[in-house]
Amino acid sequence: MHSPLPLVLAQMNAPQGQSTGTLIVELAVLVLVIAGMWRVFQKAGKPGWAAIIPIYNIIVLLQITGKPIWWLILYFIPIVNFVVLVIVCIELAKRFGKGVAFGFGLALLPFIFYPILGFGDATYGGAPTAAAPAMR
């Protein structure tokens, strides 16, 4: 009588997971996004290290874009979080003198657009101010 053990052991050695090359590419993309976000935060007068702290980086991003902090809650609601992300990215692009298309790029391709924004010549325009009353 033959044992099925060799067949079972042969199946356990099947390759699983990601290759080392894939992990290196993912790490490079992650470093690129963090470096770009770090520079964006520094340009806006915020601490660059805030880019690597989960949740806090969203709070800082909301401060930079002038959105209320309670919007952080919206990031935890499915589907709503994507809409809020796009709105915040468009506002971030506007604060740096870029257009709506650049904002969509920040939301959909952050590994390309955050480094462009951070390392490019864009400057932070500051938070919007309330309209000054007309002087007569």
> What are the pLDDT digits (tens) for 53-69?
999 999 999 999 999 99
pTM: 0.77
Position with higher pLDDT, 121 vs 8: 121
Q: What is the mean pLDDT of residues 124-130?
A: 65
Q: What is the mean pLDDT of residues 72-87?
A: 95
State both tokens at 113.
Answer: 């657009």
The CA distance from 10 to 70, in Å, is 54
Where are the domains positioned within the chain? 22-119
The CA distance from 11 to 33, in Å, is 39
The CA distance from 107 to 127, in Å, is 20
